[in-house]
Amino acid sequence: MPEAIARDARDFGVYARTGGWIFALKVARSVRPGGQAAGESEKVSARRFAALADCSAERVMRFYKAWDRAADDGLVPQFEALAPGAEIELPDADAWLSYYVSRSSAASVRGQAITEAAEAEGIRPTKALEVAENPTALRAAILADPGTAEAARKALMDRLDEDPVLRTGLARDIVRADELKKAVAEETKTGGQLEYVRRIAEEGQVKTPAGQKIEATAELREEAERHLSLIDELDEDEEPGEWAREAYDTVRTLVAETVEKDPELRVQEKRAKFYSSLQKATKAFEELTFDDVADIDDIVEDDMVKRLEELQEAISACLSALNRAQRAD
């Protein structure tokens, strides 16, 4: 077997066992630390080493900094302990990626934040940095792939609490987009319906159409729990809207039947409904003022007078009916 093959195999084995450490060692034992004068060591500057290697000084410094971080952790010797040509036992290749960052952007504050987030997610920082450096590619992936779009959506939601600028921007986008406004309104409605059903199941109380709070019957609670269990079993990609509407309509029907079956409750419901209407009418009438009108003659019209007279007649009729009922009691 030719010696050249054996040499290549040995070199390959070293790289397979140590990964980038073999190259970092060459830098660490050949490049003098920053601040060290040229006459104090046989080592050369990173720029000189890069010129000899026919590569960029930035690339050399990435290996240099990886070694520096590992030395701080006690994994490898400090630069000063290494003479040109020194050989040492190198760490395993698996440890290399924990110290080496292949992109210069990682040195920035933004890059460090991305690196920390990537490590927290259990992925290589280089992948996250590569994505961050190419937003056009990220946009293309989001537009083309539902899975990527979903991952992006979840990431944005996770970031909302700590990013008021993003929060404001998303809110503005929603307001400007009619389809999003409709979707938000629909989701809000669905959420309200689910909350209504869930409260019946969990708290045993229900609000009637007129706004009364009453104790839910056993049948009503069981029905609410049954519908909620069906909704809870839905897959993540299944929309709960239709299920929520069905649950809401079912329990509302049962609530109405409960009220109708109980004579006392039925009377209370009618009274509550009347008070609710009276409160709305009172509030509306209180807004009919002339406080901001300098001269009533400027705004008066025959139709205004006619409508108020009709309203007065309706109120008088209502009062008469209530007075008759009181006298009858």
122 Rama class: left (phi>0) / alpha (psi -120 to 50) / beta:
left
Q: What is the pLDDT of residue 102?
A: 61
In angstroms, how far is CA 9 from the centroid of its own chain? Answer: 50
Q: What is the pLDDT of residue 69?
A: 87
For the chain, which residues make up each domain, given as ranges?
3-100, 106-176, 178-265, 289-328
Question: pTM of this prediction?
Answer: 0.45
Q: How confident is the model at residue 37 (pLDDT cuts 50, 70, 90)?
A: low
Q: Which two tokens stand for residue 122?
A: 């259990």
Q: Which two tokens stand for residue 284?
A: 């509306």
Q: How confident is the model at residue 29 (pLDDT cuts 50, 70, 90)?
A: very high
Mean pLDDT of all residues in the chain?
82
Q: For 280-307, how does the pLDDT look when each residue is reduced to its tens digit (9 = 90+)?
A: 888 888 887 777 766 777 778 888 889 8
CB 131 within 8 A of CB 137: yes
Give the C-alpha separation, 293 to 123, whole Å. 68
